[in-house]
Each structure stands twice: as C-alpha cells, then as structure tokens.
Chain A
Amino acid sequence: MAAHWKTFFGGFNLTFRHLTRTNVTISYPQEKRPKQPRQHGRHVLNRYEDGMEKCIGCELCAGVCPADCIHVRGLDNPADHPVSPGERYGYIYEINYLRCIHCDLCVEACPTQAITESKMFEFSFSNRADAIYTKAELVVDDMGMPQRLPWEDWRDGEEDMTSGWMRATSPSGSAAYEGVIQWSGDLGVGVRIPEAGQSDGRDDSATGSKQLRDVFSAHLLPEDVPASHRGVAGARRKLEAKMPPALKKRLLR
C-alpha cells in the first residue's frame, strides 16, 4: 500500500522537478546541437596540398556503393596539365543524393582518401536533376574548404572537424595501428589529426566530439547519472569542460 502511494505521488514529484531542469528541446533552425565528429553528411572531393585532385578515377567507390548512387568515369591525365598526380583522374564524378544513404563505404573504399564526408546534411532540392551533385559542386575550393552552395545550410565552424570517419579508421582495421596516420595531407588543412581511440583516452577538444552523457546528464534521474557525473567528481568535470584548453593543459599536466 505504501509503495502504491509512493508511485502515485511520484508522478507529481517527477513532473515538478522537471520544471527546474533545462529544456531538452532547442529551437532548431536558429540553433543547432553540436554535430558528432563522425557525422555522415554531404561528400567532398579532396585535393592534395599542392592543389592536385586526389581522385584517380578507379571507380572503387562506385563499385562498393550499396545504393548505386555514384557514377565515375576516369580519363588519362593530359600530359601538359595533369589534374591528378598519377596516371588517370576522375573525369566524371556524380553522386545522386536521392539515392545516397550516407553509409561511408565509399570513404572506406577510396585508396587515396579522395572522397570523404563533411558533417553537412541540411540541403534540399526542388527537382530531381538538382539532387545529382557533379564535380563542380563536390570538389573543395582553392582554400581546401567544401563549397558553401546557396541551398545548403552551412554554419560557421562546421567545416572544421570534418572527415571524421576517415580519421577514425585505423589502417587495415587493426587495433595495433590505432592513431596511426595513413592519409595524405589536404589542401588548406594539412594532415588531419587522427581521432583518439578507445584505449588511449579521449581528447574531445582535439576531435570535436561531445559525449551524450555530458549533454543529457541534466535530464537523467539521479540514479541514472553515472558516478563520474555526480557530486564532487561531476562538478570537477563540469569545471574542466568550461576551462580554456591552454589553462587546462597547464593545470592538469
């Protein structure tokens, strides 16, 4: 009987406590949640640091694509002004975004890391032809940044930590090579840093990731919040997260 009354009035208690908590909902078009570092968004075709295109027109991406949305045709590099460093280059490169499922198998298949995915997923079209992105839209600009096409919703800082899936993939999938860089530098960006593995401790500030526990710990019931996010440890953690990176390095190492 006592338990019955506790559950009955527990609802009142819970709803009342929710008044003091921060709201989960955000006003989406005005503000956005931080995107995860491995977010699969719209593709980009990268270039080497000297401006050459990375794509060699091998069609591995088109072959591996489960949705059959990539169309590639290679061509021999013209001898007088080569497009890519090797023998051939991607002459036609088209992705149909009505078919693409953003699985990132093309990124894993690419031998030269020519194709990676940005975090940008907020784009729409009003006809089918517009959904087919060609090289004109996919190749990065002369600063090495993805093109901000007018119908896409890019915000400041969204280009910073892209290619997350590529950076997270260790060579030949072996844990022994975790954190080893096996990709070439990019135009304007240089060599992208690898994402820290699970065995190595995380450096969230370097990779731009944010743990969901941190985001949602304010909304969980006290008994569901992990010990590291509660009490003194939780307060210390919060303080650390707010510290500027330089100060944090000096204090904690």
Chain B
Amino acid sequence: MNSIFAAGDPLFDHGVTWIVVLIVALKVLVAFGGLMGSVTLMIWFERKLISDMQSRIGPQRWGPFGILQTLADGIKLFFKEDLVPAQADRFVFKLAPYLTLLPALITFAIVPVGGVVTVAGHTFSLQVSDPPIGILLLLAMSGISVYGVMLAGWSSGSKYPLISSVRASAQMISYEAALGMTIVTIVLSSGSLSTRTIVDAQRGGIWHWNVIHLGVVPFVVFLIAITAELNRPPFDVVEAESELVGGFHTEYSSIRFAIFFLAEFMNVLTMSAIMVTLFFGGPAGYVPPIPHVQWVFPIVWFLLKTTIFAACYIWFRAALPRYRYDQLMELGWKRLIPLSLGWMLIVAGFILSPSWGFGVTGVVLFSSVMLGRSFEIGSDQESRNEVLPKVGERPIPGHVIRALSDGEDN
C-alpha cells in the first residue's frame, strides 16, 4: 500500500485492517486533543511570561497560577452575543474564522512528534500522516490561512478590517517567497519533501541539525519570515491595535473571535513545531538506555524544543516595537528574498561539488555587492525626488513663525 497520503508510514505495509484504522483514528484524536490542550496552555503561558517580563502578575484567579484563565475566557466568549455587521457579506463573514483554524490544524498533521514505535505487532511513526508532498503541504496551508484573514477583513464591510486584509495579503506575498526559498535549501540537502525523511537526515548529533549543517542563515531567514507569516510582533501590522483597532477581527465577537485567537496561537505552536522539525532535528536528542520507556524521550525532546521556540515568540512580543509597513516590505523584498536566494544557490553549488560551490559563492558575493550598490543609488534617487522634505527638516514659513511668536518682532 503506497497511497499519496501515507507513503513512508510502515503502518500500511500489511494492508488496512480495522486495527490500522483504529490506530489512525487514535493518532488523529490524540493530535487534535493535544493541540487544543496545548493551545490553551500556550495562551496562558504567553500572558504569564509577558506579564513577568513587564513586572506584572498576569492571570492568577483561575486554577493554580491562573492556568485555567483561557478556559474561563473561552466560556465567557462562548456566551457573548454573536454580532454580524449589517454591511457584512454574511456567508463569507461566517466562513472566515474556520478558514484560519483548519490550516493550523492540518499543518500539524505532518509534524513528526516522536520516533517509530511498535504496539501489538503494528509498527507506526508518531505523526498523524507522512505524505510524500510533506513540506509542500505547509506552504499550501500557510497560503490558505491568509485567505481566512483576508476574507474576514474584506467581508466585515468596514474600513479598518479592509486595510488589514490588504496588508495581510501583501505581507503574505512578500514573505512567502523567502520562506519557500529556505525550504528549498532544506529539501536540497535532505533530498526529500517528506518531513520524516527530513528529520531522519538530521540524525546523528547536533552537527547534523540543519540549523548548523546549512549555516545559520536559512534558519534566521525562516524564523523572520515565519514570524511575519504568523502576524506576530514585531510584524503584526495586520492587527496593529494602535493603527487598525483590531485589524481583521475588529467586527468579530463571541465564538468567532475566539476561533481567530485559537487559530493564531495554534499557528504559533504549529510553526514552532515545524521549525523544530526542519532545523533542530525534530524529536532527535539523547535517549537514555532505559528499557520500555525509550519511546517517551523523543517526544519529550520535541516538546521541549517547541516550547523554547514558543517562548521566543513571546520574547519577541515583549522586546520589539512594531515595524512600520514600508520597513516591513523593505525587509522582505530587499533583504530576505536576496539573502535566501543567494544562500540557496551557494548550498546547491556545494552539494554539486566544492568547485561549483566556491564558483557560485563568488557569483553570489559579486551580485550582492551590485545589489547593495543599486539599493544605495535608488535610495539617493528617492530622497532627491521627495515632494516634501522630511518632518523636522521643513522650513517653517515666515507668516507661521510670526503668528506663533508674541508679535514683538513685527
């Protein structure tokens, strides 16, 4: 059995029996429940950590350390009035939250959570599915998830959400390219799209992890691009509270608003997991020689690494101010895309042969110098063509100065 959805999984080697179906159903249930549970924990963790970083207390009323706060918020939101604006496109308005939630759930299906285990004669890997298109599913789903944001903003029939949806789609296009190019770098070195194969290629110690194996650059580009994809600070221009009220979810209330938030935090977790899978060896790590519980340690390693990245996102939010929209575009188009493209070429060259590698490196270095120089010339041109001088450098007209002064000078 070698279907498109489960090529690598040894579970399907001996045909599909009812116990195989049961195992698959169990895996889906555990992944769904675990993800839902960890999202509520993630929201609590974010609020608690960011309040600690700001010398506040944070949630503390519900449960020990306020750990049930998310549950209380969820119940509260569930019983709130569900509003649909009169100007809204009702069908799309109601559809949009689910369009953001589903990709977040589906993306997690390709993440290898643990190793390969054998239970009652059935060997299977600890991940919901291992499709041969693997990592392309991630790109597809992150592409679809922006539809949720975009349609939510558009269908609200209100100005701020509309601006937000325009920003979301533009941001998506700018950063998807850099994201795709770093993924190509990984695919080049591991020779497969399947996440299980990518994880297996990083086996054998910390030096084989992609973060070091490919140089740190693809990881940094991926981290920045994925933060922008997630609309997390400092790239949260889509839901910038100080500019757009709430962005795309301004008009949403009740359970639909809750779904947006659930999807956002679920995306944070999923993308942390993806990052661990692609760059940090997934569940790889030291497994102590204790019999019977060896399958636990990869899962623990995986959860540990994912938690560290989730904490990183919270740290970003606490530490960094929001990028201006033009800065965001500049970073995406002028820095990240050339950087990831050049690095991809260098990696491809070195995979072919060292001589090719050094040749391509030279070409990339030369063209990056050219690119840098052309950006410089371009910005000079721009400043010369400015209609108005910068704020603070504008000369104040004489009659304004006279009006502002006490009048003694005239």
Complex contacts, B52 vs chain A, CB 8 Å? 18-19, 23
Question: Other than the known A14-B319, A16-B53, A24-B55, what 11 A-B pairs have Cβ atoms closer than 8 Å?
Answer: A11-B319, A16-B315, A18-B55, A21-B55, A22-B55, A23-B52, A23-B57, A24-B56, A25-B57, A27-B60, A219-B55
- A127 within 8 Å of B by Cβ? no
- B404 within 8 Å of A by Cβ? no
Closest-by-CB residue of B relative to A13 is: B319
* Complex: A14 Cα to B57 Cα, angstroms: 17
- Asked if B55 contacts A15 (CB within 8 A), the reply is no
In the assembled complex, 26 residue pairs joining A and B whose CB atoms fall closer than 8 Å, in A order, are A11-B319, A11-B320, A11-B321, A12-B315, A12-B319, A15-B54, A15-B315, A15-B318, A15-B319, A16-B315, A18-B52, A18-B55, A19-B53, A21-B55, A22-B55, A23-B52, A23-B55, A23-B57, A24-B55, A24-B56, A25-B55, A25-B56, A25-B57, A27-B57, A27-B60, A219-B55
Q: Which of A15, A18, A25, A27 has the most CB of B within 10 A?
A: A15
Least Cβ distance of A103 to chain B in Å? Answer: 33
Q: Of A11, A15, A16, A23, which contacts B56 at CB under 8 A? A: A23
* Complex: A122 Cα to B40 Cα, angstroms: 37
Least Cβ distance of A248 to chain B in Å? Answer: 30
Give the size of the chain B interface in residues (CB under 8 angstroms): 12
Main DSSP-derived SS at the B contact region: loop
* Complex: A25 Cα to B59 Cα, angstroms: 12
Main DSSP-derived SS at the A contact region: helix
Least Cβ distance of A61 to chain B in Å? Answer: 42
Complex contacts, A11 vs chain B, CB 8 Å? 319-321
* Complex: A221 Cα to B173 Cα, angstroms: 42
* Complex: A27 Cα to B59 Cα, angstroms: 11
* Complex: A23 Cα to B56 Cα, angstroms: 5
* Complex: A11 Cα to B54 Cα, angstroms: 12
- Asked if B53 contacts A15 (CB within 8 A), the reply is yes
Least Cβ distance of B122 to chain A in Å? Answer: 45
* Complex: A191 Cα to B393 Cα, angstroms: 66
Closest-by-CB residue of A relative to B319 is: A11
- Asked if A18 contacts B57 (CB within 8 A), the reply is no
* Complex: A219 Cα to B56 Cα, angstroms: 11
* Complex: A23 Cα to B48 Cα, angstroms: 12
Least Cβ distance of B264 to chain A in Å? Answer: 21
Contact with B along A1-30 (1 / 0, CB 8 A): 000000000011011101101111101000
Closest-by-CB residue of B relative to A10 is: B319
Closest-by-CB residue of A relative to B61 is: A27
- Asked if B320 contacts A18 (CB within 8 A), the reply is no
Q: Which of B52, B54, B55, B321 has the most CB of A within 10 A?
A: B55
* Complex: A21 Cα to B57 Cα, angstroms: 12
Closest-by-CB residue of B relative to A9 is: B319
The 9 closest A-B pairs by CB, nearest first: A11-B319, A15-B53, A15-B318, A12-B319, A24-B55, A25-B57, A15-B319, A25-B56, A18-B53
Contact with A along B353-375 (1 / 0, CB 8 A): 00000000000000000000000
Complex contacts, A14 vs chain B, CB 8 Å? 319
* Complex: A21 Cα to B54 Cα, angstroms: 10
Complex contacts, A219 vs chain B, CB 8 Å? 55
Complex contacts, A19 vs chain B, CB 8 Å? 52-53
Complex contacts, B315 vs chain A, CB 8 Å? 12, 15-16
Complex contacts, B54 vs chain A, CB 8 Å? 15, 18
* Complex: A207 Cα to B48 Cα, angstroms: 38
Least Cβ distance of B27 to chain A in Å? Answer: 37
* Complex: A225 Cα to B52 Cα, angstroms: 21
Complex contacts, B53 vs chain A, CB 8 Å? 15-16, 18-19
Closest-by-CB residue of B relative to A219 is: B55
Complex contacts, A16 vs chain B, CB 8 Å? 53, 315
Closest-by-CB residue of A relative to B316 is: A12
* Complex: A19 Cα to B56 Cα, angstroms: 10
Least Cβ distance of B320 to chain A in Å? Answer: 6
